[in-house]
Amino acid sequence: MQILNVEEKYNNKKISTYLLNKFPLLKRNTLFKALRKKDIRLNNVRINDDVEIHTGDEIKVFITDNLLYLNNIALDIIFEDDNILVINKPVGIEVTNITNNGISLTSLCKEYINGFVKPCHRLDRNTEGLVLFAKNEQALNILLDKFKNKEIEKHYIATVYGIPKKKQERLEAYLFKDTKKSLVYISDEFKKGYQKIITSYRIISENKENNTCILDINLETGRTHQIRAHLAHIGFPIIGDGKYGINEVNKKFHQKYQMLTSYKLKFNFSTDSSFLEYLDKKEIYLNQKTK
């Protein structure tokens, strides 16, 4: 059994919206089956409808943990050697923050390595794809510097609503992070508290029939929610993005999570890389597995 208390941002929302957000791995049919069986209680009252909830309500969920969480997850190792580990992160798990099921991608890597392992960058909880880990302190310091100096490219694939006129473009803007609301805001002009962001895209394919296209995106800066917010800001939201996207569009395409995947890491070293020199010019792809 899970006991939850409704936060203010979910006031007047449907209980299904709340629970599907809280448990990204929970399937809709499993949730509504639990409602029909009255396996969910609202303020200690068994309910069988998708009712509206309010701030401070207590919800008890009688659904087995294996249907709610990423239990017994097996790491999808894309590449590994003595110094680095590259993992394909699934949707629904944080890179570092421990989620409700008591795990993070980092904690799973620590169990696997049984020693030093730390992430060199992050992905949003509901973004899937490649995450680079260092397996020793020296490698971590070098790789963090490489990211800072833009000597490691991070490429993403995103499916967006709308088709940009330009086939490729390097976008510059400014981003402000509102920690309390867990949101970021984009401005074309510099403002106090805003940080510069650079997002480049290239159209891979387009579908004029449903007004969508697939973009290859390269980040020169790696701010929170940068890709999602920046693309939405220029009028091309990622399909499935519940925070910066368009709800009607997400429903039309039946997408619960943002269609965004980190699919390639490219090492372009231009400064001293010490014992990691062998990684220079190396490219690691999502569909590649080397160990």
Question: Which amino acids are annotated catalytic?
Answer: 124
CA distances from 150 to 128, 143, 165, 251 (A): 22, 10, 27, 37
Tracing tokens 């294996």 back to the chain, one arrives at 66
Supply 223's token pair: 């701010």
For the chain, how big is the Rg over CA atoms in Å?
A: 21
Tracing tokens 């401070």 back to the chain, one arrives at 56
Half-sphere exposure of 62 (CA within 13 A, CB side): 15
The contacts of residue 232 (CB under 8 Å, 6+ apart) are 186, 238, 241, 244, 245
Give the Cα separation of 35 and 43 in Å (integer). 15
Tracing tokens 């659904």 back to the chain, one arrives at 63
Instruction: Report the 10 Å Cβ neighbour count for 67.
Output: 15
Q: What is the DSSP string of 55-77?
A: TT-EEEE-S-HHHHS-TTPPP-E
Give the Cα separation of 179 and 27 in Å (integer). 29
Give the Cα separation of 266 and 200 in Å (integer). 15
